[in-house]
C-alpha cells in the first residue's frame, strides 16, 4: 500500500507581481513556510519556468528543480491547462481564448493551435528532464456550446467533435508515451472532457491510450451533481493526479446547476476553501489509500469568499491531517493462527 504524498500546492492562483508571489524562489520559500512539501507549476510564466528551455536543456531543468529543492520542496507536476485549452477551441470562443496565447498569435487561430500543441509537447519533455511522472492539461472543447440538446443537435455532431478531438490529441499522447509521461486530463465544465462518459468517449477515439489519464478534482463533480466517490471506484486505474479542492452546491427555488448567469458568490454551486465546502475528504483520502494512488495531494485554491493566503495556510494543515499513513500489517495479525496446507485441510475436513 502507498501513502499519498503531500501536502503540495498548485501555485497558479497565487502568482502575482508582488513578493513573495513574483518569482519561483520566493514562492517556494513561502509555500515551505506554510508546511507544503511540493509545488505544482503552471507553465505559462517564464518567471517560474521557461517551458521550452526546460524541454531542451536538462541543465536548466536541474536549475529549476534545484531552486525548489533548496526550499525543502519537490516539483510535483507541470500544468498546461491554458495551452491544452487551445488545442481545441470552438469558434464561438476563439476571441475569448486569445488571452491564453502570446499577443502575436491573437486571432491567428491556426498558428495559435499549432503553438499550443507544441507547448503541450514541451511539457512532456520538460517533465522527463525534471524526473516527473505525470502532467496535467485541459482537453479543450469543440462540442461544449452544444452541451444541452436544444435545439436538437444535428446527427453525429458530437461524434464528429470527439473524432476530431481524438485526432488532435492522439499524436500528443504518443509523444508523451515516448517521454514516459502520463498526460492527465482535468475533467472540468467547459471542456469536452468533463465527466466519465465524455472521458470514455475520448478513450475510444485514442485507442484506449495508456497515457490518457485523469487528474481527480471532486469540486467539479459537486457542481455537476456527479457521484465523486463512485468515480474513484470506476476510474482509479486512470487517476494519476489529484487536486484537493472543496465546493458546495446549494440549489434554491430560483437556481440550480446552471447558476442563472450569476457570479461565483451568487451561484448555487461554488468553489470553497478546504473545510468550508461539502466535499467528504475523509472518504476520498480513504479510497485513494485503498487504491494505492501513486501521486500527490495538491491544493488548488479557488474560493469565492476567503482570501487566498488564508486558504493556503489552512489548506496545508487540512491536507496533512487527511493523508492516511497506510498500515504495513493487518490489525488482527496479533491473533493470527498462521497457516499451512495440513492445517487448512484439517479445518476444511479435506482428507
Sequence-distant (6+) residues with CB within 8 A of 59 are none
CATH code of residue 60: 3.20.20.150
pLDDT of 271: 98
The pTM is what? 0.96
Look up residue 314 and give its three cell numbers.
489552512
Note the pLDDT of residue 208: 98
Contacts of 228 (CB under 8 A, 6+ apart): 218, 221, 222, 279, 284
Torsion angles phi and psi, residue 284, rounded to 5: -65, -50
Domain holding 132, by residue range, is 5-348
User: Tell me: the pLDDT tens digits for 170-219?
Assistant: 999 999 999 999 999 999 999 999 999 999 999 999 999 999 999 999 99
Integer Cα distance of 180 and 9 in angstroms: 24
pLDDT (mean) for 248-266? 97
Q: What is the pLDDT of residues 269-319, one digit of tens each?
A: 999 999 999 999 999 999 999 999 999 999 999 999 999 999 999 999 999
- Please give the grid coordinates belonging to residue 247: 465546493
Neighbours of 177 (CB within 10 A): 16
pLDDT bucket at 338, cuts 50 / 70 / 90? confident
5 sits in which H/E element: strand 5-10
What total of structural domains would you count in the chain? 1
Lookup: cell for 118: 507544441
pLDDT at 337 over 80: no
Amino acid at each position: 500500500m502507498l501513502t499519498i504524498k503531500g501536502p503540495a500546492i498548485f501555485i497558479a492562483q497565487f502568482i502575482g507581481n508582488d513578493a513573495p508571489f513574483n518569482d519561483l524562489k520566493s514562492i517556494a520559500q513561502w509555500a515551505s513556510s506554510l508546511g507544503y512539501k511540493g509545488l505544482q507549476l503552471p507553465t505559462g510564466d517564464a518567471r517560474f519556468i521557461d517551458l521550452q528551455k526546460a524541454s531542451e536543456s536538462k541543465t536548466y531543468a536541474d536549475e529549476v528543480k534545484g531552486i525548489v529543492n533548496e526550499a525543502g520542496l519537490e516539483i510535483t507536476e507541470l500544468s498546461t491547462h491554458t495551452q491544452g485549452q487551445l488545442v481545441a477551441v470552438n469558434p464561438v470562443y476563439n476571441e475569448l481564448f486569445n488571452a491564453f496565447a502570446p499577443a502575436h498569435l491573437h486571432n491567428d487561430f491556426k498558428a495559435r493551435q499549432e503553438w499550443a500543441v507544441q507547448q503541450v509537447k514541451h511539457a512532456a519533455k520538460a517533465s522527463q528532464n525534471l524526473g516527473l511522472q505525470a502532467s496535467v492539461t485541459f482537453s479543450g472543447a469543440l462540442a461544449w456550446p452544444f452541451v444541452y440538446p436544444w435545439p436538437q443537435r444535428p446527427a453525429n455532431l458530437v461524434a464528429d467533435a470527439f473524432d476530431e478531438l481524438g485526432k488532435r490529441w492522439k499524436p500528443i499522447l504518443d509523444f508523451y508515451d515516448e517521454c514516459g509521461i502520463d498526460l492527465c486530463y482535468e475533467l472540468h465544465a467547459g471542456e469536452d472532457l468533463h465527466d466519465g462518459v465524455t472521458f470514455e468517449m475520448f478513450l475510444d477515439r485514442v485507442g484506449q491510450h495508456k497515457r490518457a489519464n485523469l487528474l481527480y478534482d471532486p469540486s467539479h463533480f459537486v457542481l455537476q451533481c456527479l457521484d465523486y466517490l463512485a468515480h474513484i471506484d470506476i476510474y482509479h486505474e486512470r487517476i494519476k493526479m489529484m487536486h484537493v479542492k472543496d465546493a458546495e452546491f446549494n440549489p434554491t427555488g430560483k437556481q440550480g446547476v446552471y447558476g442563472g448567469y450569476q457570479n461565483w458568490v451568487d451561484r448555487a454551486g461554488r468553489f470553497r476553501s478546504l473545510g468550508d465546502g461539502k466535499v467528504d475528504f475523509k472518504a476520498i483520502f480513504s479510497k485513494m489509500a485503498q487504491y494505492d494512488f501513486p501521486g500527490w495531494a495538491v491544493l488548488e485554491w479557488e474560493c469565492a469568499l476567503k482570501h487566498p493566503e488564508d486558504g493556503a495556510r489552512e489548506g496545508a494543515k487540512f491536507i496533512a491531517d487527511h493523508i492516511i499513513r497506510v498500515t504495513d500489517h493487518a490489525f488482527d495479525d496479533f491473533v493470527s493462527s498462521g497457516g499451512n496446507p495440513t492445517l487448512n485441510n484439517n479445518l476444511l475436513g479435506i482428507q
